[in-house]
């Protein structure tokens, strides 16, 4: 297999796994604003930017680039598959589930406040 084939295979694998999406979930669990986020996960530095024209995602372990892409994973610059990928996906799914639970709890609290504000009062 030549270099170009290895590159294409890794790019296809990254896209097929939707790795960019999971990286962005973990990045958003860290610090940032509406456009730039960063997090530390298992000693890796994860960064993601959001916005028209200038968005990217990356994972760095020490000085080793494990993943780098732009345009929400459409253009993969580097992807080094390994056991870290399954762990990253599992962590992102846990974060996503926790976010859903928190949102459901917030929605329930808001609903209760509305019910209380408009419920019948007999005095």
Q: For 25-60, what is each residue's pLDDT tens digit? A: 999 999 998 889 999 999 999 999 987 666 788 999
Task: Please indicate, yes or no, if residue 97 is contained in any of the structural domains.
Answer: yes
- Is 55 within a domain? yes
In-domain check, residue 65: yes
Instruction: Identify whether 123 is part of a domain.
Output: no
% residues pLDDT > 70 (the chain): 98
Q: Classify residue 88: in a domain, yes or no.
A: yes
Whether 23 contacts 60, CB under 8 Å: no
Which region, left, alpha or beta, applies to residue 65 given φ > 0 means left and ψ of -120 to 50 means alpha? beta
Residue 31 lies in a domain: yes
* Residue 15 reports pLDDT greater than 70: yes
Q: How many domains does the chain have?
A: 1
64 within domain boundaries: yes
pTM of the model: 0.83
Domain contains 9 = yes
Q: pLDDT tens for residues 75-95? A: 999 999 999 999 999 999 999
**Residues of the domain holding 23:** 3-118
For residues 97, 84, 16, 90, the Cα torsion angle rounded to the nearest 10 degrees is -10
């Amino acid at each position: 297999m030549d270099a170009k084939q290895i590159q294409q295979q890794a790019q296809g694998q990254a896209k097929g796994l939707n790795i960019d999406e999971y990286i962005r979930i973990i990045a958003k669990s860290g610090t940032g604003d509406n456009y730039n986020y960063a997090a530390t996960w298992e000693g890796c530095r994860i960064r993601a930017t959001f916005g028209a024209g200038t968005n990217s995602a990356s994972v760095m372990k020490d000085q080793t680039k494990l993943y780098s892409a732009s345009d929400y994973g459409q253009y993969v610059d580097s992807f080094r598959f390994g056991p870290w990928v399954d762990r990253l996906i599992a962590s992102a799914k846990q974060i996503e589930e926790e976010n859903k639970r928190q949102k459901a709890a917030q929605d329930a609290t808001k609903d209760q406040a509305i019910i209380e504000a408009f419920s019948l009062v007999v005095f």
